Amino acid sequence: MSQAVRRAGRIVDAIAEEARSVADLANEFGLHRSTMFRELKALEEIGYVRKRGDATYTLGMKLVSLGQQVLSQVSVREAASEPARKMHAVTGNTVHVAALIGDDVVYVDKVEDDSGVRMYSRVGAPVRLHCSGVGKAILASLRGQSRKRLLSRVSLDKYTSKTITDQDELEAELETIADQGWAADDGEFEDFVNCVAVPITSSAGVVGALSVTAIRMVNTLEDLKEFLPLMKRVSGQISRTLG
């Protein structure tokens, strides 16, 4: 991959996190402002970014269109859509579906509860592998080089007092998850949120994960564990659909 293409991708990734100014991006990437302006202008011309009234840049509508096309091609999302909604009707909690796409794990579906509390997760967003239930469920189901390849892309950033930031500790937890067949996020990314997750498999191996997520004050982790038998049945149903 050329340096210019790689940098353009990193600029788009940075803007995806939050709207950014030319000065902010130039400083982050170590470029002169005029150079960064030209980069942004080129991305704007092809619809990947757009300039807002306050002179900051955000993602362009072209990416929305491309994202919808990608999601429409993700078989995990299609297979899980109806089962996820039926499970939501039973649990009343937010249901997430994540898919392993190449070396990336992204949220491909989300059925929200009625609490109105905003969570980080959104359809199309990357999964934080070391501090999310779906991320750990997928990692734990991989073996050998497949797991190593994904782990090599993980930055063990600390978000709460419970976030795992040690590689050996994460590896040990993944082995525990593999043995028990489910993973948990015990306030590891957002301290007011917890969840339980199970992997989704096909004949090709693990392809995604399914989780039930709740605000800690509404449902504790122990409460959510009561849904694990149901979640495993739903995951099995999705797996059979995928073949």
Contacts with 52 (C-beta within 8 Å, 6 or more apart), sequence order = 19, 58
pLDDT digits (tens, 9 = 90+) for 120-169: 677 778 889 899 999 999 999 998 888 888 888 888 999 999 999 999 99
* 177: CB partners within 8 A, 6+ apart: 136, 137, 140, 183
Please give the radius of gyration of the chain, using alpha carbons only, rounded to the nearest integer. Answer: 19
Q: What is the pLDDT of residues 165-181, one digit of tens each?
A: 999 999 999 999 999 99
* pLDDT recorded at residue 114: 64
The domains located in the chain, with CATH, are: 3-67 (1.10.10.10), 74-242 (3.30.450.40)
Average pLDDT of the segment spanning 193-215: 91
pLDDT over 60 (residue 72)? no
Is 22:37 a contact under the CB 8 Å cutoff?
yes
Residue type, position 101, single letter: I
Q: Over the stretch 209-218, which tens digit does the pLDDT of each residue have? A: 999 999 888 8
Average pLDDT over residues 216-233: 92
Instruction: Assess whether pLDDT exceeds 80 at residue 74.
Output: no
Query: How large a percentage of the chain has pLDDT more than 90?
Result: 41
Tell me the pairing of strands 49-51 and 94-101.
Answer: unpaired
